[in-house]
Amino acid sequence: MPNAQQSASPSTSNSPLRPRLQRPLRIALFGFGTVGSSVARILAESKPRELELTHIFNRRVARKRVDWTPSSVLWSEDAEAVLASDADVIVELVGGLDPAGAWVRRALESGKSVVTANKKLIAYHGVNLERLAAAQGGHIKYGAAVAGGIPVIPGLEQGLAGDRIERIEGILNGTCNFILSKMQEGSEYGTVLAEAQTRGYAEADPTEDVCGFDARAKLAILMRLALRVQVDPDEIVPRSITAVAAVDFSYARDLGCTIRQVARAQQSNGDLAATVGPMLVDLRSPLAWSQGTENMVIVRGHYCGEVVFSGHGAGGHPTAVAVVSDLLALAHGSRRVEVSSAPAHLGTEFEVPHYIRFLVADRPGIVAAITGALASQQINIRAILQKPGYPANALPFVVTVEPCKTSALKRALAQVRGMDCMLVEPLDLQILE
C-alpha cells in the first residue's frame, strides 16, 4: 500500500510564517469535541517545539475544561476575542458552513492562517477561501477534510501531481462503512444503526452520513484536486443506504460481491461523471476489504495506474494527526500546493451493470412485465435470481442487467413500480466492475 508523504516547500520571503526559529507557532483551537480534544492531547503529550497551543474556544467552555492542557492556555467562549488575539493559526474543528465559515474568513482577512477539517466548507467555498488566504498573506490547509488521517489530499497535491488522474473512487464515510460491513454479517439496517449510534460512530440524526451528503462533499474536494474540476456538490445526487437489507447481501454473495457506499468520479474525453451511493463491489476489489470505520480511496492515473490509500479515516485521533501534520507543515514554512482547476458541470452518466431487487406479492406475469419494461429501454437482462424459502406474499427476487445508464433504467422501472404486486420501491444498485 503506497504511502503519500507531505513534503515542505519554502514559502515566499514575505510570508508571515517564515521566521519560525524565534518562537513557536501560536495555535488557537476552535472546537473541543472529539477531534479538537485529540488535537490538544497530541500537542500536550508530544510537545512539538514548533507549536504552542495558546487558546481554546468552545461554546459553554466551562463544561469542556480539562486539567491536562498547559496552564498558559486561555479557555474562551468569545470567538471574536480569540480571532483578535495574537494567535498565528486558527484551527477550525466546529464544522458546517456557519458560523465556522465566518470565523475562517475573519481569520484569513486578518492575515492569520487556517487549518480545518471542515469538508463541507472546503467543498462549497474552498476555492474562494484559498484566494482570500493568498491575497492576505496567509494559508489555508485542510488535509484532514477527506479520509481523516489517511494522507489522500497531500498525496494528490504532491505525490501524484505529475500524473493525469482519470478516475477516483472510494469509501469516504466511516459511519456507512461500519453499518454496511456489519450488515454483511447478517444484521438488518436498523439494528446496526442503533449500534453505530451507541458507539458514537453515528449521530442521533444520521442523515448527513447515510444519505450520502458527507461523502458527496468529500468527493467534490477530491475531484478538484485529482481531476482538476470545480463542481458544485449539489450537482452530485447521492443515494441513501437505508433501503439496503440483509437479503441484498445474501444475493450479493451469490454474485461474488458485497455492498459498500462508494463515491466515484471519472473524466473521459471531456465528459465528467460523478455519483455517491451503495453499490455492489466485487469481493476481489480492495473496496470490499475495507471494514468497520475504515476509509479507502483508489486513484487511477494515466501513467502510474492505480494507487490505493487506506486506513482509519474516521475518529478523533486519526483526524487529529492530519490536523497536527498541517500545523507542523505551516511551522516549517510550507504552503499548500496550488492545484489549477476550472469550473465544470457533470455532463454524462456511468454506464454500468445494475442490480435490481424487487419485493412482490407473487402472481403470474411479473417477470414478463419487468422484461418488457427493460426491453423498451434497450436494456438487456444478465440474470434473474430467486432464493427459496420466502413466502409468496413477500417474495424478494433479483434481476441484474447489462451495462446501461441509470436514467434509462429509471424510465424502465417507472413502468413497473405502479403494479399492484409491488410491495416496496425496487432497489437499484450499480455494480462496480
Query: Catalytic residues, which ones?
Result: 218
End-to-end CA distance of the chain: 21
Classify 28 in phi/psi space as left (phi over 0), alpha (psi -120 to 50) or beta: beta
In sequence order, what are the residues at sequence separation of 6 or more whose Cβ sits closer than 8 angstroms to the Cβ of residue 277? 212, 238, 239, 240, 241, 261, 262, 429, 430
| Relative orientation angle of helices 119-136 and 100-109, to the nearest 10 degrees | 10
What is the rounded distance in angstroms from the CA atom of residue 302 to the CA atom of residue 267? 11
CB contact burial 337-370 (16+ within 10 A = b; e otherwise): eeeebeebebeeebebbbbbbbbbeeeeebeeeb
What is the rounded distance in angstroms from the CA atom of residue 56 to the CA atom of residue 76? 6
The dihedral built from the CA positions of residue 130, 88, 97 and 292, taken in this order, carries a sign that is: positive
The one-letter amino acid at 156: L
What is the rounded distance in angstroms from the CA atom of residue 150 to the CA atom of residue 356? 34
Q: For the chain, what is the total number of helices (H) and then of strands (E)?
A: 14, 17
What is the rounded distance in angstroms from the CA atom of residue 112 to the CA atom of residue 95? 19
* Residue pair 8/143 in contact by the 8 Å Cβ criterion: no
Please state the φ and ψ torsions of residue 25, each to the nearest 5 degrees. -75, 125
CA 11 to chain centre: 30
* Residue pair 416/370 in contact by the 8 Å Cβ criterion: yes
Please state the φ and ψ torsions of residue 430, each to the nearest 5 degrees. -70, 150
What is the rounded distance in angstroms from the CA atom of residue 61 to the CA atom of residue 74? 11
170 strand-pairing partners: 263, 297
